[in-house]
Amino acid sequence: MFTMETAPDGRVLLRRPDDAPPAPVRATAMVFEDPASRALLRRMEQLAPTDADVLIIGETGTGKELVARHLHDCSGRRHRPFIAVNCGAIAETLVESELFGHEKGAFTGALSAKAGWFEAADGGTLFLDEIGDLPPAQQVKLLRVLQEREVVRVGSRRSIPVDVRVITATNVKLEEAVRTGRFRQDLYYRIKVGSLILPPLRDRPGDVLPLVDHFLTLYGRRLGRRAVRLAPDAVQALLDHDWPGNIRELENVVHTALVTAAGDMLTRADVQLSLPVDARTEQPCVAAALRGSFNALFEADVPDLFGRVTDALVRSAYEYCGGNQVQAAKMLGISRNVLRGHLARLGMIPARNR
C-alpha cells in the first residue's frame, strides 16, 4: 500500500513504504489537487494492491501510462517487470508473435524461438496501451490468456503458464467499437471489470495551477531556470484554456515557455496556447488563411464585400465540382436549394430550373 503526503508547496505526493526502492521521480510526484483527481486517487489506492486487471479510460494526455506505472509501483509486483506495449504501433502481422512469442521456424524469418511480452512480464505487469487497436484475431487470444493465464507461442501447441497483471488503456470509447463490431464484447466485459476513468483536464480545473507549478519546478531544475514565475495574465490564460491535449499539452506549454522566454517572469505572450474550441471547429487554418485577404479587401474599401465574396465562393465551388450541385452545396455547407438560388441569380443556371 502507498500513502498520500502533502508536500510543503501543497502538492499531493504518493509515497510507498520505506522498504520499497524509490520510484521514478514522476510517479512519486503526481498532481492530484482537484476533487475529481482526489476521487481518482482513492480509486487507484483501492485498485493498486489488488491483482485485478484494470482498464484505464481517458483522452489523450490524461496520464494513462503514468497511472498504469503507478498502479504497478504500488502493487506487490513492483520488483518485477513493468512492460508497456502500444497495440496500435505493432504491425498487424507481428502482434501475435510480439505478445505471445513464437517458436523457431514458426514463420519466415523466425530464426530462433522468442518469448513474447506476456512471458517477459511474468510476475509483473503488462500494460497494453490503445487496446482498441488490437486486431480481432488477437482479441480472442488475449481473452483466452486473461481467463486461463497461459500463453501458447505461435508455432507451438504447448501452453506456458504466465503470472501477469494486465492493465489496458484506451482513449476511445470502446462501447462504440463493440457496437460496430470492431471490438469483442466478451473481451470488453472482461477487461472493464476494474476500470479507472481519467477525467480530461478541463473537468479538473483545480489541477491546472498545481500542474503548472509541478512542471515549472521539474523543467526549471533541468534547464537551470529555478527562479521563473508566472505573471497574473499568464495565470489567467492558463486557467481559461480548455486543454484539448490535457496534461501533456500543459507540460509542453510550460516546457516551451521555459525554453523560449528570456526573463524570469512568464507573461501571457510567453505561454503559447492552442486556439479555443470555437475557433478549432471553424478550421483555424482556413480562417487564418482568409483573414489576410479580407484585411486587404477592407483596406481597399470594396463595396458590398459580403455579396461579392459569396458570389465568388459559389462560382468557384460550382466550377470546382464540375457543375455537380450536390457536391458544391456540401462543400459550401449550404442546402442544394440555397445553392440553386445563388446560381440562378448569377445566371449560371436558368431561373426556372431552380
Ligand X SMILES: Nc1ncnc2c1ncn2[C@@H]1O[C@H](COP(=O)(O)OP(=O)(O)OP(=O)(O)O)[C@@H](O)[C@H]1O
Residue 248: which of Mg ion, ligand X, none does it interact with, CB under 5 to 8 A by kind? ligand X
**Contacting residues for 324 by C-beta, under 8 A, at least 6 apart:** none
- Which residue, chain included where needed, has cell 482498464? 55
Roughly how many angstroms between the first and final C-alpha of the chain, as a whole number?
74
Decide which of ligand X, Mg ion, none touches 61; Cβ closer than 5 to 8 Å per partner kind. ligand X
Signed CA dihedral, 46, 15, 222, 127: sign only:
negative
- Is 173 a binding residue for ligand X by CB under 6 A? The answer is no
Of the residues 28, 156, 159, 171, which one makes contact with ligand X according to CB under 6 A = 171
Number of residues counted as binding ligand X (CB under 6 A): 17
**One-letter amino acid for residue 41 of the chain:** L
Q: Which is nearer to Mg ion, 65 or 242 (CB)?
A: 65
**DSSP strands (E only) in the chain:** 3-6, 12-15, 54-58, 82-86, 125-129, 150-152, 159-161, 165-170, 194-198, 229-230, 265-266
Give the CB-nearest residue to ligand X: 63
Residues 214-233 that bind ligand X (CB under 6 A): 214
Which range touches Mg ion (CB under 5 A), out of 45-53, 56-64, 90-98, 319-327?
56-64
d(CA 19, CA 236): 43
Residues 62 to 121: which contact Mg ion by CB under 5 A? 64-65
Helical segments of 48-173, H only: 64-73, 95-100, 117-120, 136-148
By C-beta, is 45 or 122 nearer to ligand X?
45
Min. distance of Cβ 298 from ligand X in angstroms?
41
Instruction: Rule CB under 6 A: choose which of 48, 131, 237, 247 binds ligand X.
Output: 247
Q: Which residue has the cell 498502479?
A: 71
**Per CB under 6 A, which of residues 11..70 are in contact with ligand X?**
26, 30-32, 58, 60-66
Q: Which residues bind ligand X (CB under 6 A)?
A: 26, 30-32, 58, 60-66, 171, 214, 247-248, 251
Q: Which residues bind Mg ion (CB under 5 A)?
A: 64-65
